[in-house]
């Protein structure tokens, strides 16, 4: 556990003192705060606002770019209340308002090894999102238009505002950063997956560090994925600590800017089990059943980068494996990962 990470908390009155300073704002954020080094000539940063972490709200930072009759909102925060669904949760299609044919599928744009997603949010605004360096960044076009090229250039130019603090945050266990570590929370019912699996919002949601003592009380052992570059970092418990309905294991690529993998497990007697065989959720994706090491596995994904997801039986229960899309997370790579997990299930 890092002894250097500290997040400030306060009241809304504190915002006036720090809302114009990127560097000062980083002290109030449990994520790596970024700023753009490139903007179109006709827009400027007209607003900057910091939402402080309090018992009823987590920390976030927002800027507004305005000029020439157009505006773009950019929000940053730590997505710690669930796995970021599809890796582009801001572009989630509201199934009560639009059908798959009416809503454009988000498009992927590689930025270094990361994937920027551009599409529309649930209000039909043009929007973009990316996840890296332990931050989720979401941009929404509020007025006028911003071209795809402009959005890509803005995201390409993003840099940490405080390199030293960025390294501290990246070296800190995810469970320590998580809002749930400091306040008693319940599970969020937000969509999680291309497969139909949701959490019960009345159940508790606990963030835990991956210590030997904490793991000793779990009904399963987490897979070891070091051969694929993923380090087991933290986990979340849904429901009662002594008998959880779900365990969410968090893995990260420490050398690849926090590329994450989530391994969700529900016991066979869980109150909210992962469905097996699974049912497709409401978002556009491709699906198929495959056989891996003699076991039926159900795959879901959007494009060549993923985000690949798989549902399969595991250690007497059911697992949902989700990988964050990167430029190297293709289907061959994902199948190799699955095969390693399933072949080593007996020794996990």
Q: pLDDT tens for residues 236-271?
A: 999 988 899 999 999 999 777 879 999 999 999 999
Give me Rg for the CA atoms of the chain: 20
The pLDDT-based confidence of 1 (bands split at 50, 70, 90) is very low
Bigger pLDDT: 14 or 281? 281
> What pLDDT does residue 15 have?
47
Give per-residue pLDDT as tens, 105-131: 999 999 999 999 999 998 899 999 999
Give whole-number Cα distances, 48 to 35, 56, 64, 75, 268, in Å.
11, 21, 7, 10, 48
Quick: pLDDT tens for 73-92: 999 999 999 999 999 999 99
Nearest 5 degrees, angle CA 14-CA 17-CA 20?
Answer: 125
Tokens 């009904």 locate to: 219
Find tokens 């770019």 and name the residue.
65
């Amino acid at each position: 556990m890092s002894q250097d990470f500290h997040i400030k908390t306060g009241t809304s009155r504190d915002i006036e003192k720090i809302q114009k300073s990127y560097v000062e704002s980083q002290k109030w954020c449990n994520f790596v705060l970024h700023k753009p080094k490139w903007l179109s000539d006709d827009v400027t940063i007209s607003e900057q606002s910091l939402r402080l972490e309090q018992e009823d709200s987590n920390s976030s930072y927002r800027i507004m770019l305005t000029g020439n009759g157009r505006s773009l909102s950019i929000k940053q925060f730590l997505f710690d209340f669930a796995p970021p669904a599809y890796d582009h949760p801001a572009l989630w299609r509201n199934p009560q308002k639009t059908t798959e044919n009416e809503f454009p599928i988000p498009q992927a744009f590689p930025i270094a090894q990361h994937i920027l997603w551009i599409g529309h949010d649930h209000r039909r605004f043009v929007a973009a999102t990316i996840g890296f360096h332990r931050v989720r960044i979401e941009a929404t076009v509020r007025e006028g238009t911003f071209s795809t090229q402009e959005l890509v250039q803005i995201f390409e130019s993003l840099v940490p505002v405080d390199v030293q603090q960025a390294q501290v945050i990246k070296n800190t266990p995810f469970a320590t950063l998580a809002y749930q570590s400091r306040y008693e929370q319940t599970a969020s019912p937000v969509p999680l997956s291309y497969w139909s699996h949701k959490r019960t919002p009345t159940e508790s949601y606990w963030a835990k560090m991956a210590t030997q003592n904490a793991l000793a009380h779990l009904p399963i052992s987490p897979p070891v994925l070091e051969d694929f570059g993923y380090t087991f970092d933290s986990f979340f418990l849904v429901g009662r600590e002594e008998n959880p309905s779900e365990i969410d294991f968090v893995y990260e690529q420490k050398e690849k800017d926090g590329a994450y993998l989530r391994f969700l497990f529900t016991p066979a007697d869980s109150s909210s089990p992962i469905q097996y065989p699974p049912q497709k959720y409401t978002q556009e994706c491709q699906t198929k059943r495959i056989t891996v090491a003699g076991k039926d596995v159900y795959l879901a994904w959007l494009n060549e980068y993923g985000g690949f997801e798989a549902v399969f039986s595991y250690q007497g229960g059911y697992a949902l494996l989700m990988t964050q899309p990167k430029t190297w997370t293709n289907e061959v790579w994902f199948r190799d990962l699955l095969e390693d997990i399933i072949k080593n299930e007996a020794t996990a």
